[in-house]
């Protein structure tokens, strides 16, 4: 077999990535920002990221340099909670969570019994993620195993690092969307066998939430989790007060809503719970102690009137935290729109997210929440080269505002408060351009 010549390419522009959590202060040693930086990619992996003047002399003669001067390169955004089958009913007018599920989400998910619809929607969904600069996501399918087959087939064809799973729900939902404890276990096992670890794909055991699963089903989900310790667990917890009350009524023996999941072996590393709004301090300690992570979904929590995530309490407890768009309860695929709303949610609870920490949460923080920070989320050497190029002038207003923003932190803050999909100039997957207008 003929060996392929190593491909080496460099990208020059402003560079931002993180070595760790930059914390809440302005001085942040974990921040790596290079105004005139160079990202060197070899065979799809990061080889180096530093000041251009440091790296340029060592580049081999004739190495290709892509010029993104004036633009910002950062690791691809990581969306730690989203539902691809809800793409078609985003922005549906409804009351709060439980009515919204009945009136909009469940009927939309019914259509995924049709594999053709699932494939078509997967294509649109992944296009939309890339257009928004999101390169990895933790994704709900529907109860139909074919919804996950369709999604993974599309993700595999694009070489994306994606995580998804078939929804488990066997009660308190329409008949047409129910599995059983037995069929849910069997179908999930088969999907794990088929997809987990194939290419860049990972499986997530996905009970929708405690109220739509019987005890027998949560037991079987816990059994799956024990049998597959490297597989993800993905669910919702403590989103809406009516939901919390209902969960407590259905599982009176549990200390709290979160405790239901722990009793069934579903709190652990690589377990990600969306929302985590109405938790108490003991719950937060359990999250930290078990290594489970919270996916904070600001646009969804505001849209459905669910509540405000408590960043200060999560931080005191040392909880792993990532950000999710939660489309279609969330109202945007854009991680920039999500950062803006996350900032406001934190403000409402008396906490301020610095621009550094905001971009950290959308990149390396998300990777850490997913336990994938050894592969994605930063420009450390050896990481997979999934990255985005952001324009700093995507609208007349942003271009004007940038003229009066002097420090990198000021510019980033204006970008996250005002930016949206138009700010994403290009998205790269494993060093290959997957989408772009720049
Ligand atoms: Zn959700």
Give the mean model confidence (pLDDT) for residues 198-220: 98
Residue 27 has pLDDT above 80, yes or no: no
**Residue 283 in contact with residue 320, Cβ under 8 Å?**
no
**Minimal CA–CA distance to 63: which of 119, 12, 107?**
12
Is residue 208 exposed (0-12), middle (13-18) or buried (19+ Cβ within 10 Å)? buried
Residue 329 CA to ligand 1 centre (angstroms): 7
Q: Is 301 exposed, middle or buried (0-12, 13-18, 19+ CB in 10 A)?
A: buried
Q: How confident is the model at residue 5 (pLDDT cuts 50, 70, 90)?
A: low
As a whole-number percent, the residues of the chain with pLDDT over 70 amount to: 98
pLDDT band at residue 24 using 50, 70 and 90 as cut-offs: confident
Rounded (5°) CA angle 308-314-270: 105
Ligand 1 mean position to 83 CA, how many Å?
A: 6
Ion ligand 1 neighbours (CB, 5 A) are 274, 326
Question: 324: CA distance to ligand 1 center in Å?
Answer: 9
Q: What is the mean pLDDT of residues 183-201?
A: 98
Q: Are the C-beta atoms of 16 and 71 separated by less than 8 Å?
A: no
Grade residue 245 by pLDDT with cuts at 50, 70 and 90: very high
The pLDDT-based confidence of 83 (bands split at 50, 70, 90) is very high
| CA–CA gap between residue 99 and residue 29 (Å, rounded) | 46
pLDDT at 1: 46
Helix or strand or coil: residue 257?
helix
Instruction: Tell how far the Cα of 267 is from the centroid of ligand 1, in angstroms.
Output: 17
CB 8 within 8 A of CB 47: yes
Supply the pLDDT for residue 437: 87
Q: What is the mean pLDDT of residues 241-249?
A: 97
What CA–CA distance (Å, rounded) separates 192 from 2?
Answer: 34
Q: How far apart are the C-alpha atoms of 380 and 371, rounded to whole Å?
A: 16
Gap from CA of 296 to ligand 1 centroid (Å): 10
Residue in this structure with the two tokens 């047409």, named with its chain if needed: 176
What is the pLDDT, as a whole number, of residue 169?
A: 98
Q: What is the DSSP string of 279-327?
A: --HHHHHHHHHHT-EEEE-HHHHHHTT-----HHHHHHHT-EEEE---T
Asked whether the predicted pLDDT for residue 409 surpasses 70, the reply is yes
Q: pLDDT tens digits for 326-364?
A: 999 999 999 999 999 999 999 999 999 999 999 999 999
Residue 102 Cα to ligand 1 midpoint, Å, equals 14
Distance, CA of 68 to CA of 63 (rounded, Å): 16
Ligand 1 mean position, distance from CA 52 (Å): 41
Contacts of 191 (CB under 8 A, 6+ apart): 145, 148, 149, 165, 166, 203
- Whether the link from the prior residue into 201 is cis, omega within 30° of 0, is no
The rounded distance, in Å, linking the Cα atoms of 434 and 328 is 24
Please give the pLDDT value at position 6.
63
C-alpha closest to that of 143 among 175, 173, 178: 178
Axis crossing angle, helix 181-195 with helix 145-157, rounded to the nearest 10: 10
pLDDT bracket for residue 76 (50, 70, 90): very high
Look at residue 156 and tell me whether its pLDDT is greater than 70: yes
CB 320 within 8 A of CB 269: no
Closest CA to 16 of 41, 48, 50, 40: 50
Residue 417 is inside which H or E element, if any? helix 408-418
Q: What pLDDT does 216 receive?
A: 98
**17 CA → ligand 1 middle, Å:** 28
**For residue 275, how far is its CA from the centre of ligand 1 (angstroms)?**
8
Instruction: Calculate the average pLDDT of the chain.
Output: 96
Please give the distance, rounded to the nearest whole angstrom, from the Cα atom of residue 91 to the centre of ligand 1.
Answer: 14
Q: Which of 5-14, 168-177, 181-190 has the lowest mean pLDDT?
A: 5-14
The strand pairing partners of 202, in sequence order, are 163
Q: Give per-residue pLDDT as tens, 390-407.
A: 999 999 999 999 999 999
- Cα(233) to ligand 1 centroid in Å equals 13
End-to-end CA distance of the chain: 36
- Is 350 exposed, middle or buried, given 0-12, 13-18 or 19+ CB atoms closer than 10 A? exposed
Ligand 1 centre from 241 Cα, in Å? 15
Give the tens place of pLDDT for each residue, 354-371: 999 999 999 999 999 999
Residue 398 neighbours by CB under 8 Å, 6+ apart? 392, 414, 415, 418, 419, 423
| Ligand 1 center to 208 CA (angstroms) | 8
CA of 236 to the centre of ligand 1 (A): 6
Look at residue 17 and tell me whether its pLDDT is greater than 90. Answer: yes
For the stretch 111-150, pLDDT in tens is: 999 999 999 999 999 999 999 999 999 999 999 999 999 9
CA 349 to ligand 1 centroid distance, Å: 22
Q: What is the mean pLDDT of residues 21-42?
A: 91
Chain segment 254-282, per-residue pLDDT in tens: 999 999 999 999 999 999 999 999 999 99
Range of weakest confidence among 2-11, 181-190, 279-288: 2-11
pLDDT given at position 55: 98
Burial annotation 264-300 (CB, 10 A radius, 16+ → b, else e) = bbbbbebbbbbbbbbbeeebbebbbebebbbbbbbbb
Q: What is the pLDDT of residue 101?
A: 93
- Reported as a pLDDT band with limits 50, 70 and 90, residue 62 is confident
């Amino acid at each position: 077999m003929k060996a392929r010549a190593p491909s080496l390419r460099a990208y020059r522009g402003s560079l931002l990535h993180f070595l760790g959590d930059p914390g809440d202060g302005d001085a942040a040693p974990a921040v790596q920002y290079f105004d005139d930086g160079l990202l060197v990619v070899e065979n799809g992996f990061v080889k180096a990221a530093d000041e251009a003047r440091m790296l340029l002399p060592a580049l081999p003669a004739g190495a290709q340099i892509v010029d993104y001067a004036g633009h910002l390169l950062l690791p691809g955004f990581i969306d730690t909670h989203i539902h691809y089958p809800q793409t078609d009913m985003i922005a549906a007018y409804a009351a709060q969570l439980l009515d919204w599920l009945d009136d909009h989400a469940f009927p939309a998910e019914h259509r995924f019994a049709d594999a053709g619809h699932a494939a078509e929607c997967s294509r649109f969904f992944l296009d939309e993620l890339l257009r928004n600069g999101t390169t990895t996501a933790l994704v709900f399918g529907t109860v139909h195993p074919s919804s996950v087959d369709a999604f993974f087939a599309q993700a595999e064809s694009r070489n994306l690092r994606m995580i998804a799973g078939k929804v488990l729900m066997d009660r308190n939902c329409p008949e047409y969307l129910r599995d059983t404890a037995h069929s849910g276990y069997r179908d999930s096992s088969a999907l794990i066998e088929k997809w987990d670890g194939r290419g860049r794909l990972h499986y997530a055991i996905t009970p929708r939430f405690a109220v739509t699963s019987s005890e027998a089903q949560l037991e079987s989900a816990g059994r799956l989790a024990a049998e597959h310790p490297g597989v993800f667990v993905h669910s919702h917890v403590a989103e809406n007060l009516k939901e919390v009350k209902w969960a407590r009524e259905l599982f009176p023996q549990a200390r709290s809503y979160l405790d239901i999941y722990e009793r069934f072996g579903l709190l652990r590393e690589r377990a990600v719970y969306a929302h985590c709004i109405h938790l108490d301090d003991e719950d937060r300690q359990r999250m930290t102690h078990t290594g489970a992570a919270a996916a904070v979904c600001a646009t969804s929590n505001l849209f459905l009137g669910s509540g405000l995530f408590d960043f200060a309490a999560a931080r005191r407890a040392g909880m792993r935290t990532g950000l999710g768009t939660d489309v279609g309860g969330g109202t945007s695929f854009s991680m920039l729109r999500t950062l803006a709303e996350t900032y406001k949610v934190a403000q409402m609870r008396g906490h301020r997210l610095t621009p550094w920490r905001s971009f950290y949460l959308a990149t390396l923080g998300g990777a850490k929440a997913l336990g994938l920070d050894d592969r994605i989320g930063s420009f450390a050497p050896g990481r997979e080269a999934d990255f985005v190029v952001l324009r700093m002038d995507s609208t007349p207003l942003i271009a004007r505002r940038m003229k009066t923003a002097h420090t990198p932190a000021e510019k980033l803050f204006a970008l996250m408060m005002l930016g949206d999909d138009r700010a994403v100039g290009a998205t790269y997957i494993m060093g290959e351009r997957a989408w772009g207008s720049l």
